[in-house]
Amino acid sequence: MIGPLVEARASALQSAHSQRRQVNDNCAAEARAGVPRVATSIFNRYGGFANVSKIVMEFYDLVLDSEIAGDYFVDVDMPTLVDHQTKFIASIMGGPASYSNEALERIHAHLDITKEAFDEIVSLLRMTLEDFELDPADVDQVIDGIRARERYIVNA
């Protein structure tokens, strides 16, 4: 007999899978419609805030499970952080919201973030974007955008 927990897990996995397909389909639909890659931001091509939040949710699951970076987030109100990270990643992807370098520096100043933890977060984000099957060039662009802010975040 399949227990309720197993069923819940199976349905969560199925839903994650269909979300990934949806993110990817948004891009494919635009490609079919002949929308040139340069004419629209990465953010718009992957379906705007609705889909970026799904990417952020998966990213945060990985971050919380991480032995290197997880502890930094233990006491943080996750819904608030996910909301902020969604806006941040959206801005790196060329969407509407944005954080200044000064704001990032201020937010992280008290956290003693090591280079190792920063690299871990960047590599978990890369893994997530690849899992959602973003175009490799788009993955590189998002990661480069975050790496460019390293000096405002690493402070230990």
Q: Please state at what angle helix 115-131 crosses helix 136-147, rounded to 10 degrees.
A: 160
Select from 27-35, 40-48, 52-60, 79-87 the region that touches ligand HEM (CB under 6 A): 79-87
- Binding status of residue 121 toward ligand HEM by CB under 6 A: yes
Find the binder of ligand HEM among 76, 97, 148, 156 (CB under 6 A): 76
| d(C-alpha 14, C-alpha 148), whole Å | 35
Tell me the C-alpha distance between 56 and 79, whole Å: 11
C-beta closer to ligand HEM: residue 35 or 127: 127
In single-letter form, the type of residue at position 121 comes to I
Task: Give the x-and-dash track for 31-70 against ligand HEM (CB under 6 A).
Answer: --------------------------------------x-
User: How many Cβ atoms sit within 10 Å of the Cβ of residue 24?
Assistant: 17
Going by C-alpha positions, the residue among 133, 136, 126, 154 that lies closest to residue 59 is: 126
Residues forming contacts to ligand HEM in the complex (CB under 6 A) are: 69, 72-73, 76, 81, 84-85, 88, 99, 104, 107-108, 111, 113, 117-118, 121-122, 146, 149, 153
